[in-house]
Amino acid sequence: MSQTEYPHLSQMFGSFFHQDWDTEGDDWPQLVRNFAEDQPQTELDATAAELDQLVADFTIDISLDHELLDVLGCYYSPRPDLGGPTVRVWLGQIAAFLRAGAP
């Protein structure tokens, strides 16, 4: 896949979840809030829909991880190895957060 297939995700991950993501916020909810700032709910819903599509398009976890890092520029990890959610669960959490207006 390519960034053009997920333009909202490319913008969000590339702009807020880059290598120095911790300069954009303390945790992923803050990063998403920063992304959502001044965006209409329709844009947040479109981004959430792209997250749903991303998860559906990549049924193999290693492929999903590759797409996030190498294509979309997402350097943040929910750290499932340290008790955090899996990447799929985390992406679902982001989608729900966006649909709720990133409160």
Q: What is the pTM of this model?
A: 0.93
**Per-residue confidence (pLDDT) for residue 2, from 0 to 100:** 52
Distances in Å between the Cα of 8 and the Cα atoms of 25, 37, 64, 80 are 19, 14, 17, 25
Confidence of residue 1 (pLDDT cuts 50, 70, 90): low
Q: What is the pLDDT of residues 16-33, one digit of tens each?
A: 999 999 999 999 999 999
| More confident site: 37 or 80 | 37
Query: Got the DSSP string for 41-99?
Result: HHHHHHHHHHHHHHHHH--SHHHHHHIIIIIT-------GGGTPPPHHHHHHHHHHHHH
Q: Give the phi and the psi of residue 6 in degrees, each rounded to 5.
A: -135, 65
Mean of the per-residue pLDDT values of the chain: 93
Which pair of tokens denotes residue 86?
């899996």
Please give the average per-residue pLDDT across 56-62, as a whole number.
95
Confidence of residue 84 (pLDDT cuts 50, 70, 90): confident
**Per-residue confidence (pLDDT) for residue 90, from 0 to 100:** 97
